[in-house]
Structure 1
Amino acid sequence: MKIIVERAKCTGLGICESLAPEVFEVDDSGELVLLEETITEHQIADVEAAVTGCPTEALRLER
């Protein structure tokens, strides 16, 4: 699976980073950095939680 970020919607709140820190990071300027674009089976649950928890709906998964 691949993570898609709609950068125009992302406000850098960091909820995704708190739910899946090995995949998401908000840098010092408030920009979302994908540490991995393609996720593994063991990361799916955390990344799905981050996608669901994003208040601006800036994240989605592409299967």
Structure 2
Amino acid sequence: MKAYVDKDTCIGCGLCPTICPQVFEMDDDGKAVAADEEISETLIDSAREAEESCPVAAITVE
């Protein structure tokens, strides 16, 4: 399972790295970016919480 951030949709609110800093971080452009690796089983719930909490639905976890 991996996480993706649509940078065209992202508004840079910073909520996702607050919820799941092991998967998400803020990039130099002020937008969120997801780690380019498989999400470990222990982080799937928090990655999904970040996905559900995104105010503009820019995150996909699949």
TM-score (norm 1): 0.84
Inter-partner Cα distance in structure 1 for 2:23 and 2:37: 8
In structure 2, the residue matched to 1:60 is 60
Runs of 4 or more above 3 Å deviation = none
- Counterpart secondary structure, 1:17: helix
In structure 1, the residue matched to 2:40 is 40
The residue identity in structure 1 corresponding to 2:5 is V
CA RMSD in angstroms comes to 1.4
5+ residue gaps in structure 2? none
- Trace 1:6-17 onto structure 2 (pairs within 5 A): 6-17=6-17
5+ residue gaps in structure 1? none
Percent of pairs identical after alignment? 39
Inter-partner Cα distance in structure 1 for 2:50 and 2:38: 15
- Residue 37 and residue 9 in structure 1: after superposition, are their counterparts in 2 closer, same or farther (change >3 A)? farther
TM-score (norm 2): 0.85
Inter-partner Cα distance in structure 2 for 1:28 and 1:8: 15
